Amino acid sequence: MKSRRLVAFLFLSAVFFWGQVFAEEPIRIGLQAPITGSFAIEGQMARQCVEVAAELINEQGGILGRPVEIIVADDASNPRDSALAAQKLISQGVVAAIASYGSSVTEPAADLYERNRVVCVAYGATAVRLTMGKERRYFFRTCGRDDSQGEFFARFAVETMGWRRIAIMHDNQTYGKGVAEETKKYLEPYIREGRAEIVYYDAITPGDQDYSAALTKLRESNPDVWYYTAYYPEAGLLVRQAREMGITVPFVGSNAVPNEDFVRIAGLEYVVGTFMTQEPLPQDLNTPKAQEFFAAYRAKYGDIPSSPWPIYAADALFALAQAIENAKSTKPDDIAQAMRTMENAEGITGPIVFTERGDRKGVPYAMYRYNEKGQLELFTP
Amino acid sequence: MRVFFEQLVNGVTVGSFYALVALGYSMVYGVMKLINFAHGDLFTLGSYLGYTFLVWGAAWITERAGLWWGVLGAILFAFLANAGAGILVERVAYRPVYRAGRLPLVVSALGMSIFLQNAIMAVWGPRFQVYPSDLVPVASLRFLGLSLPLLKVVILFLSLGVMFVMYWIVEKTEFGAAVRATALDREMATLLGIDVQRVILFVFTLGPALGGMAGVMNGMYYRSIQFSMGWNYGLKAFTATILGGIGNIPGAMVGGVLLGVIETLLAGYIPGGGAWKDGFTFLILILVLIFRPTGILGEKVAEKV
């Protein structure tokens, strides 16, 4: 009887200690995303992507030998709920947070994470001021910034396509004007070398319906390419009216142009052949990490994500995992320091390296073109 | 020089839309001394009604009678349906507050504008709607080396025609005399046995009907429509009305076309002008109000209608 008890005791304690060794306390990482609200599809895809990424990390031994646990908070894509979601994640003691989609939604959350010293990695917030406005020590983003798009266009237009006479049109709003000004800035070296010339630089009034005055002026400037850096409703009208006026110059839209409504407003016959500067779409990513990730994602959900943004959410987790691994610590200051200095993080969209201010270095952009079916296709000249 | 004429044609086209909207605006103001804020949204309503007509019914007409009959049908449908909407708006939002003075009337009009905008959004959705491209004619005329879309010409002549008909009704008919009398002095007109209520109803029927017509033509011309677009047109038409002389039918026409031309030329010739187009518009409004509050054709101010 006595020996039986002893055996049971030994057995139970063995199980207990055994468990201690293998079931380490998980590392909790928060995901704040618009699970409901008008961008719900983006948020839900982000959750699926981050969960698949977490499974991949756990299969390969977790972070510092500990499993990753994802805690999801819904910000419904509005700034008020964003603050609540951030508060919820902070009070649950997450080590770091991935947050969120939309610059104006991300901003209040970023302030809260900053105040509570939690590392925050944004995945769909491209406004320049998020990193350049005030200094944030715990804020990073895996997506690009509005100005890297201007740089990409300038290089592509001059070096790849050999377009000389460049027309830039924007809508005088923060995003559109920002991209236009950055494009102009990055074109300047080429202008000095005599390889490019800005023949048209003007804004149109958003919400108008008749752009014939601006388009007549555009046609008279006789450009090789026409870069429009604002939103889709005006872009649709502009493309249609220009083509109806007989203006055949190649149209390039920035990344707020391509969507279903742009195609509807402009009409499919006029959309075919228009270019877009755009983050690479998931189907065109082929890094080793991308192949691994999409195989796992497809096995679980049948297809790959249709939007580029959730991929950046998964990349945020890969970046955080590598940073914690490098820092050998889960203290926010150590993670933030490691994020700034690491050079070995591999993401789905390529290597993930951050600047001192938390922006991603060398964000990939790509040139896309609409095909006959009204779908975006990677353009290779 | 060719470019200048082209810009002029562009300006006249935009201007004829402003003029069509301004005609209804001006008439309501002439008789009621009311700035009808809901007018721009009735314009939107017209373009949505025309859209629905084209999508559901025009294929049937076009198959049997040809493209232009479908277009005409849509314009007529929007004209009549919007006339009905105008009567309803008058009954619901204006008649109950006539006696309360001018300010409650303006507030009621503003409320109606917000209501209409949201109602349109609730029925047709917040997304852009696009007029079916195969149901709108795309033929163009060649004239002095310029290529003019036929639709542009039709729009211009239609608004001119409407103006002449309205002018004729108001100036040459007996009913027109009653309208003019009501505009001058409503109480006196009542004492003289004029059915003022009928005049008011006429004004609130014809104004929105013209707005609806402008809405359909706008939709056909620019293809994409959205629930909130009327506000901008309302403001432009208001400016055009002030510019031409408020309450004056030829004035609304002249003001509308002139505004379109000024806007286009400034956007076309001043560097960076495209961004300041609306700024110019409202600068003109302010200048006219300061230096010539009666507008360009302001001498006829005594004959307000």
DSSP states along B80-107: HHHHHHHHHHIIIIIGGGGGG-HHHHHH
Q: Report pLDDT for B149.
A: 74
More confident residue, A167 or A5: A167
Which chain B residue is nearest to residue A245, measuring alpha carbons?
B147
**Overall average pLDDT of the B203-225 stretch:** 89
Beta bridge partners of A377: A369
Label residue A21 by pLDDT band (50, 70, 90): very low
- Does B268 contact A214 at a Cβ distance shorter than 8 Å? yes
Give the span between the Cα atoms of A43 and B276, in whole angstroms. 38
pLDDT number for residue B140:
67
Tokens 């290779």 appear where?
A380
Predicted pLDDT of residue B304:
47
- The tens digit of pLDDT for each residue in A335-346 reads 999 999 999 999
In total, the C-beta contacts within 8 angstroms joining chain A to chain B are 77
pLDDT level of residue B301 (50, 70, 90 thresholds): very low
Name all domains of chain A by residue range, CATH numbers in brackets: 22-144+284-351 (3.40.50.2300), 147-278 (3.40.50.2300)
Q: How far apart are the first and last CA of chain A?
A: 84
Q: Which of A174, A201, A208 to mutate to test the interface with B (most CBs of B within 10 A)?
A: A208
Burial class (CB in 10 A: 0-12, 13-18, 19+), B103: exposed
CATH architecture of residue range(s) B2-303: Orthogonal Bundle (1.10)
What gap in Å lies between CA A315 and CA A326, rounded to an integer? Answer: 16
| pLDDT > 80? residue A8 | no
- Candidate from A128-132, A165-169, B258-262 with smallest mean pLDDT: A128-132
Q: Using the beta-carbon criterion (under 8 Å), do B232 and A261 form an inter-chain contact?
A: no
CB A252 within 8 A of CB A153: yes
Q: Which two tokens stand for residue A330?
A: 């889960």
Instruction: Tell me if A216 and B222 make a contact (CB, 8 A cut-off).
Output: no
- Secondary structure element (H or E) that encloses residue B236, with its range: helix B229-244
Nearest residue to A293 (alpha-carbon basis) of A312, A317, A314 = A314
CA atoms within 13 A on the CB side of B258: 18
Neighbours of A245 (CB within 10 A): 18
Query: Using CB atoms within 10 A of its CB, is residue A20 exposed (0-12), middle (13-18) or buried (19+)?
Result: exposed
Give the best residue of A38, A216, A232 to mutate against chain B (max B CB count within 10 A).
Answer: A216
Q: How many Å lie between the alpha carbon of B288 and the closest alpha carbon of chain A? A: 23
Contact list, B279 vs chain A (CB under 8 Å): none
Entry field: residues in chain B: 305
- B72 versus A150: which is more confidently predicted? A150
**CA-wise closest residue to B236 among A180, A63, A168, A205:** A205
Average pLDDT over residues A348-360: 93
pLDDT for the residue A4: 67
Partner B contacted by A235 (CB < 8 A): no
- A372 CB-near residues (< 8 Å, 6+ apart): A272
Q: Which residues of B touch A240 (CB under 8 A)?
A: 223
Question: Per residue in B174-209, pLDDT tens?
Answer: 998 998 888 888 888 889 888 988 898 998 999 899
pLDDT per position as a tens digit, A244-265: 888 999 999 998 888 878 888 8
Contact A311, A348 (CB under 8 A): yes
pLDDT digits (tens, 9 = 90+) for B100-144: 888 898 899 999 999 999 999 889 887 788 888 776 666 666 666
In angstroms, the CA B160 to CA A373 distance is 42
Beta-strand runs (E) in chain B: 129-130, 140-143, 146-149, 224-225
**Residue B282: what pLDDT?**
87
pLDDT attached to residue B302: 47
- For the record, the structure tokens of B12 come out as 């006249």
- In the predicted structure, residue B303 carries a pLDDT above the cut 50: no
CA proximity to B229, closest of B153, B136, B134, B116 = B116
Three-class secondary structure of residue A69 per DSSP: strand
Which residues on B lie below 8 Å from A207 (Cβ)? Answer: 229, 232
- Report residue A206 as tokens: 């958003």
Q: Tokens standing for B161? A: 């025609």
For an interface test with A, give the residue of B138, B151, B222, B228 to mutate (most A CBs within 10 A). B222
Cα–Cα distance measured from residue B152 to residue B141, given in angstroms and rounded to the nearest whole number: 10
Q: How far is A108 from chain B (nearest CA, A)?
A: 27
Question: What pLDDT is attached to residue A58?
Answer: 95
On chain A, the residues whose CB falls within 8 A of the CB of B272 are: 202-203
Please state, as a whole number, how many other Cβ atoms lie within 10 Å of the Cβ of residue A17: 9
Question: What percentage of chain A reaches a pLDDT higher than 70?
Answer: 94
B21, with CB counted inside 10 A (0-12, 13-18, 19+), is buried
- Average pLDDT for B267-294: 82
Q: Tell me the mean pLDDT in the region A2-30.
A: 65
SS3 at position A197: strand
Q: Which residues pair with A350 in a beta bridge?
A: A347
Average pLDDT over chain B, rounded to an integer: 84
How large is the average pLDDT for residues A197-206? Answer: 91
User: Among residues A265, A270, A252, which one has the least CA distance to residue A209?
Assistant: A265
The per-residue pLDDT for A200 is: 94
What whole-number distance in Å separates Cα of residue A33 and Cα of residue A329? 26
pLDDT at A63: 93
In chain A, how many H helices and how many E strands?
14, 14
Q: Is A38 on the interface with B (CB under 8 A)?
A: no
Distance from C-alpha of B243 to C-alpha of B295, rounded to nearest angstrom: 5
Interface predicted TM-score (ipTM) over 0.85: no
Q: What six digits make up the tokens of B231?
A: 């506000």
CA distance B211 to A207: 19
Chain B residues touching A233 at Cβ < 8 A: 128, 224, 226
Q: What are the chain A neighbours of B263 within 8 Å (beta carbons)?
A: 213
Residue B259 burial (10 A CB sphere; 0-12, 13-18, 19+): buried
For all residues of chain A together, what is the average pLDDT?
89
Of B64, B58, B108, nearest to B78 (Cα)? Answer: B58
| Region B156-163 average pLDDT | 82
CB contacts, 8 Å: B127 with chain A: 261
Instruction: Verify whether the Cβ–Cβ distance A213 to B147 is below 8 Å.
Output: no
At B142 the pLDDT is 66
Please give, rounded to a whole number of angstroms, the shortest distance from the CA of B203 to a CA of chain A: 28
**Residue A100, preceding bond cis, omega within 30 degrees?**
yes
